[in-house]
Each structure stands twice: as C-alpha cells, then as structure tokens.
Structure 1
Amino acid sequence: MVPNAAIAQRDKQSLNYIIRSGLAGGIAGCVAKSVVAPLDRVKILFQASNPDFQKYAGSFVGTFRAGHDIYKQSGLRGLFQGHSATLIRIFPYAAIKFMMYDQVHHFLMPTKAQETNARRFLAGAISGTMSVFFTYPLDLIRVRMAFHTRTTNYTQGPPRPSFTYAFSQIYNERPINPAHTTEVVDAARPFNRYPLLKFYRGFTVTIAGMIPYAGVSFLSWGFLRSRFLPPSKAGHENPTPIADLAFGALSGALAQTASYPFEVVRRRMQVGGITRPDRWLSWSETIGAIWQARGWRGFYVGLSIGYLKVVPMTAVSFAVWQGGKRLLDA
C-alpha cells in the first residue's frame, strides 16, 4: 500500500489542488484589500509625497484628516480611487503567492520534522518574488491611478484617471527634454526601445523589498502556528479562525517593519514618470532625494498608516486563505 503521507504529497502537487489553493488565495487577497482600500489610497499619497497631502503625513490624526479631505473632495469613490486596478492585480498576485507558497513549502519541508525558520523564510521569499514578477505592471497602474489629485495632474489628463488612461500614460511617457543631458538620453534609450519596460519602474527595489516582506511574513506565520497550535489529530487542519487572524496580524506587523523603507523608495520610483518626466529615476537618486528632504525619517513616512493597513489586511488575508482552503478541501 502507498503510505498516507505519500498520497497526501502527491495530491498537493496535482493540478486540481493547485487550482483550489490558488483560488482560495486569490479570494483572500481581494477580501483583504477591499477592507483596507481607503487606507491604501492615503498611504500611497503619503509615500509618494503628493503635494496636496504632505501636511497630513506623520501622524495617526493626519491619516484620518487626509481620508476626510479625500471624502469631501470626491466622496466615497475617492477613497477607492485605483481600487479597480488593485482588484485586477491582487487576485492573480495573491493566488500565485499562496499557491506558490504551498508548493515550495511541500518541496522544502515535506514533513513537520523538516520545517525550519530558514526554510519558512525562503519559501515565503520565493512565493512573494514570483507573484510580484507576474503582476507588477498592474501594481504600477494602480499606484498611478491612486496618486492623482487636483494639483498633480501634470499631463492635463482627467482628474480621476481610468485604468486605460493610466496604461496609456505610462506607455507613452518620453523624456521631455532629451537635449538637456546625454545621461537622460542614455537612461531613456532602453525604455524607448522596449516600451513594456516602462511598466516595471521600481521593479528592482520591489523585489528587494519583497524578499524581507514575504519572507518574514510567512516565517512568522509558520513559526507561530507550529509554536502555539496543537498538532492535527485527524489528518487535516482544524478550523482556527481566531488564531489565523491573530497570527496574521502579528506576521503583517513584523513584515511591514522589515520591508517598509523599500516600499517608500518603490512608490517614489513608480510615480517618477509623473513627478520627473524628464528622467528615469534610479535607486541612488531616489534614496538621495528622500534623505535630503527628511533624513532617515523619510524612509518611514506613512509607517503608522502602514500598520493600520497591513495588520488587518494580513490578518484577514491569512484567515480567509485558510478558511477558503478548508471550504475548497485544499
């Protein structure tokens, strides 16, 4: 007879299981992002140094004042500006991330005895990196949609850009003064030759930030579950929604702290085509600009709202993911 462990291992590598695991992850991501969408809009405005909202940055009170200002200007729709692009992106992103984590976890740690913190971190980092690679252009479009306010309409476009408008704006970006310096021409040449590269502004810093974010998130999640949840006795995971929420919240807080400076740099690079259309912002230039403006504190601007957003989002995401897997028998 084939051992039960071998049967379970084979089942978790089947296409049917992969689809169910991915579906549970995609739904979890959409639910979690919808819960915190207004906070996400405000956080993007803070991180990208939107001139209309810098006066609110740096405090919990400022976060809610900014949200109130957006609501006064544009109503409830304004708080969810860019959310359509978020949902288009987050379903495949979360589906790939959680599905990949399941697969990499079973590859690196087929048994409980083989689970280590280093392997948990590696499994999370790999799953996060793969999900970002396939969905990054959608994230860039979402950030562009969320960044626009009354005084940031540099391109004379609509005050609330659509998905198609943001896509067109990115695709058609060109340096406005190529004769100013040879460096601008050299830096822009790859983007002019391969326009799709424009949809990967800030990609390298995103990958650099995703490794500690996803790695710490799944490391914390796996460690907490192994430390505080009793072993399964019936061959399947027992429903633990409260524990899933608590472990997810703590995992999100730790992951956000570890990766936040990368996220600030990424947002500034992503909106570079709006704020600095004459050049392609590099790592060093972006980091230098942040440091000159606010010192080390500039790399943590919006962190308080980051906690307000990431802690409930990660808690809901992990809890819905586990609940979805149980519902879909995955």
Structure 2
Amino acid sequence: MSNSVSATRDKRSLDYAIRSGLAGGIAGCVAKTAVAPLDRVKILFQASNPEFQKYAGTWSGAYRAGLSIYKEGGLRGLLQGHSATLLRIFPYAAIKFMAYDQWRPLLMPTKDHENNYRRFATGALAGMTSVVFTYPLELIRVRMAFQSRQPDHSPNPQRPSFLRAMSRIYSESAIPTSQPSTSSVSTTPKQVFERLPILKFYRGFSVTMIGMIPYAGTAFLTWDFLRAHFYPATHDRSQRPPPVANLAIGAVSGAIAQTVSYPFEVVRRRMQVGGLTRPDRWLRWGETVGSVYASGGWRGFFVGLSIGYLKIIPMNAISFAVWQSGKRALGV
C-alpha cells in the first residue's frame, strides 16, 4: 500500500483524530499559559472595566495596567481566570485542530482541490465546530478575568472562582424585568428562548460564531497557504518545515486573523460581560455595537488591539508549532 493511501486512511481513523486532538489541546494550553497576563489585560480593556479605562489606548498603558494588577493581587492576579481558561482551551484547541484535520480532506481531498476559498472554509468550519462545544467555558473564563475586585461592602471578600462565576451567570436575569410575561399567549419566542437557563451561558454566542468565521478562516487560510508556498507537500521528512518556520508562519497567521476579526471580538466581550454591567438585560447586537461606537467611535472597535497583537502573535505561533511537533511526537 502506498504512503498516500496510508496517510488518507490514517487521517480518517479514530486513532488519528484522537492523537491530533491531543496534540492540539496541549498546544493550546502551552500557548495560552504563555500569554495569560496579556489576555487578562486585554479583556479588561475590551470590556471597558471602569478601573482600567485610564490605561487603555497606549502600549505603556498595557504595562501599567499589568503592574497595577500585580501590585494588587500578585501573580495570581495576572493569572486570574486562567484555571477556567485551561479548562476551556484544552477541549477548544483539541476540537479545533482535530476538526481541521477532519474537514480538510473532505473539502480538499486532492492537491487539485486546494485553493484559498477551500482553505478559508476549512478553517472557519474548524473554528465554529470548537465554539459550539466549548462556548460556556469561554464565557465563564471572561467573567472571571473581568472582575477586578470585590465590592467594598462585601463582608467576606472572595476571589473569583469557576464555580462562583458559573453560579452568578445562572442566577442572572435573561430578559428585561419591565417586560411582563403573564401568559403563554403574550410570551414571544425570544422571551422563551432567553428564559432557558442554559442559554444564559451563551451570551454573545451569535457574534462569536460570526466573528469566528473571519478569524479561524483567515488564520488557517494563511497557515495553509504559506506552508504550501514555502514547503510544498512531500513525504521527505527533511523537506518538512522546521519548528522555527512553523513559529513564523503561525505568527503571521495570527496577526492577519486578529486584524480582520477584532471588531467582532470587542462586541463579543461587551455582550459576554453584559450580565455584570446590566444584570437585568440581555444585551443585543444592535445596542452593543451602538454602545461601543458611542463611547469610542470607530476606534472603539479596535481598543486593546495593540495588546491583541502582543498576545495573539506569540500565542498563534506557539500553538501551531507545538501542534505540529505534538503530532510528530504522537506519530501522526
């Protein structure tokens, strides 16, 4: 049996999928841990945490915000929400990379099928697949990172935790209290939708899914295109891209993808923390976009982008490189 037939068989097997997913999950955890402090600062800026808005808008502001967090909570403060990040990122990255390896041979079964449209679609589908299964963990992680300090009137100050964040989300109101719903006849489908408790863990889900299309699509498009351009497919191991090349290609992929999708990310963060800033409301697309524009104009959709580059470039570089190294180590 030829090597190409063997490779096709292996990629469609459960064993290959598990090994690819394991490599992806480990890669995601390593990459996220490397940029965890920057991730926390970026979330505080994106979600307009009132205590940190004075730092937003400059490169030095990110440093000063991080220093402020460190002075108040030490290393634990910089890593606040990271436990939830790891709980989320392992399945998220595992599913994303595993899904990519499964979608790719379906959309591009041969070399002749490879083009930028299919590369983009493959990446978008992989990203959307992972979001569907892991979004509640992402919301909990953002809530933990957003909370900067306990109210002064709190008799027993407690650090944000995964279970406390989950409990708070569950107890939040999903529909405006001013809208009565005394009978099933007057209840709209939207109100019924928002009453379901599980949907409280999907605040900002629609904008996340839409934003995932340009982000994951562009990231994997760039990754696949650059690898195919500089390192054409070959069975000669000596001709495969070295780790430093995977780092560089991953970095470029992350920078381009971040720029394209960033406005969606800002809107998503605002919607995700809506239960904290407006606990009686279910923030919608229109009013969230309007709020971002009213507070900062078009620049408001790019607040924290500089930190985003500092975070996403090394994170993408590390995740892609570790994913490839992990796959090789696991024999796939």
Looking at structure 1, the residues matched to 87 and 57 of structure 2 have their Cα atoms a distance apart, in angstroms, of 30
Cα deviation, residue 230, structure 1: 4.5
**More divergent stretch after superposition (32-41 vs 238-247):** 238-247
Cα deviation, residue 234, structure 1: 2.5
Identity %: 64
Cα deviation, residue 74, structure 1: 0.3
Residue 60 of structure 2: aligned partner: 61
Cα deviation, residue 106, structure 1: 1.1
Aligned counterpart in structure 2 of residue 191 of structure 1, from 191, 194, 199? 194
Residue 258 of structure 2: aligned partner: 256
Provide closer, same or farther for how the CA distance between residues 239 and 46 of structure 1 changes in structure 2, counting only shifts above 3 A: same
Residues 169 and 275 of structure 2 are in contact (CA less than 8 Å); yes or no, is this contact kept in structure 1?
yes
Residue 302 of structure 2: aligned partner: 300
Looking at structure 1, the residues matched to 25 and 289 of structure 2 have their Cα atoms a distance apart, in angstroms, of 33
Residue 11 of structure 1: aligned partner: 10
The one-letter amino acid of 2:209's match is I
Secondary structure of the corresponding residue to residue 173 of structure 2 = coil
Cα deviation, residue 8, structure 1: 1.7
Cα deviation, residue 152, structure 1: 6.8
Residue 200 of structure 1: aligned partner: 202
Provide closer, same or farther for how the CA distance between residues 18 and 246 of structure 1 changes in structure 2, counting only shifts above 3 A: same
Residues 231 and 241 of structure 2 are in contact (CA less than 8 Å); yes or no, is this contact kept in structure 1?
no
Structure 1: unaligned runs, 5 residues or longer: none
| Residues 134-149 of structure 1 mapped to structure 2, 5 A cutoff | 134-149=133-148
Residues 148 and 160 of structure 1 are in contact (CA less than 8 Å); yes or no, is this contact kept in structure 2?
no
Aligned-CA RMSD value: 2.1
Provide closer, same or farther for how the CA distance between residues 289 and 156 of structure 1 changes in structure 2, counting only shifts above 3 A: farther
Deviations 1:193-227 (A, max 9, x none): x1000000000000010000000000000010011
Matched, 1:223 2:225: yes
Residues 150 and 157 of structure 2 are in contact (CA less than 8 Å); yes or no, is this contact kept in structure 1?
no
Cα deviation, residue 237, structure 1: 7.0
The one-letter amino acid of 2:297's match is G
Residue 184 of structure 2: aligned partner: none
Looking at structure 2, the residues matched to 102 and 55 of structure 1 have their Cα atoms a distance apart, in angstroms, of 43
The one-letter amino acid of 1:310's match is I
**More divergent stretch after superposition (167-176 vs 90-99):** 167-176
| Residues 116-131 of structure 1 mapped to structure 2, 5 A cutoff | 116-131=115-130
Looking at structure 2, the residues matched to 153 and 6 of structure 1 have their Cα atoms a distance apart, in angstroms, of 65
Residues 231 and 239 of structure 2 are in contact (CA less than 8 Å); yes or no, is this contact kept in structure 1?
no
**More divergent stretch after superposition (315-324 vs 152-161):** 152-161
Looking at structure 2, the residues matched to 5 and 75 of structure 1 have their Cα atoms a distance apart, in angstroms, of 53
| Residues 1-330 of structure 1 mapped to structure 2, 5 A cutoff | 2-150=1-149, 158-174=157-173, 178=177, 180-181=178-179, 189-192=192-195, 194-234=196-236, 238=240, 240-330=242-332
Residues 120 and 218 of structure 1 are in contact (CA less than 8 Å); yes or no, is this contact kept in structure 2?
yes
Looking at structure 1, the residues matched to 174 and 16 of structure 2 have their Cα atoms a distance apart, in angstroms, of 47
Provide closer, same or farther for how the CA distance between residues 315 and 156 of structure 1 changes in structure 2, counting only shifts above 3 A: farther
Provide closer, same or farther for how the CA distance between residues 153 and 108 of structure 1 changes in structure 2, counting only shifts above 3 A: farther
TM-score between the two structures when normalised by the length of structure 2: 0.93
TM-score between the two structures when normalised by the length of structure 1: 0.93
Looking at structure 2, the residues matched to 313 and 212 of structure 1 have their Cα atoms a distance apart, in angstroms, of 18
Structure 2: unaligned runs, 5 residues or longer: 182-186
Secondary structure of the corresponding residue to residue 110 of structure 1 = coil
Residues 135 and 202 of structure 2 are in contact (CA less than 8 Å); yes or no, is this contact kept in structure 1?
yes
Residues matched between the structures, number: 326
Provide closer, same or farther for how the CA distance between residues 157 and 258 of structure 1 changes in structure 2, counting only shifts above 3 A: farther
Residues 50 and 152 of structure 1 are in contact (CA less than 8 Å); yes or no, is this contact kept in structure 2?
no
Cα deviation, residue 181, structure 1: 4.5
Deviations 1:212-270 (A, max 9, x none): 00000000000100111254243797351010000000000000001000000000000
Looking at structure 2, the residues matched to 212 and 60 of structure 1 have their Cα atoms a distance apart, in angstroms, of 26
Cα deviation, residue 159, structure 1: 4.9
The one-letter amino acid of 1:170's match is I
Looking at structure 1, the residues matched to 153 and 46 of structure 2 have their Cα atoms a distance apart, in angstroms, of 18
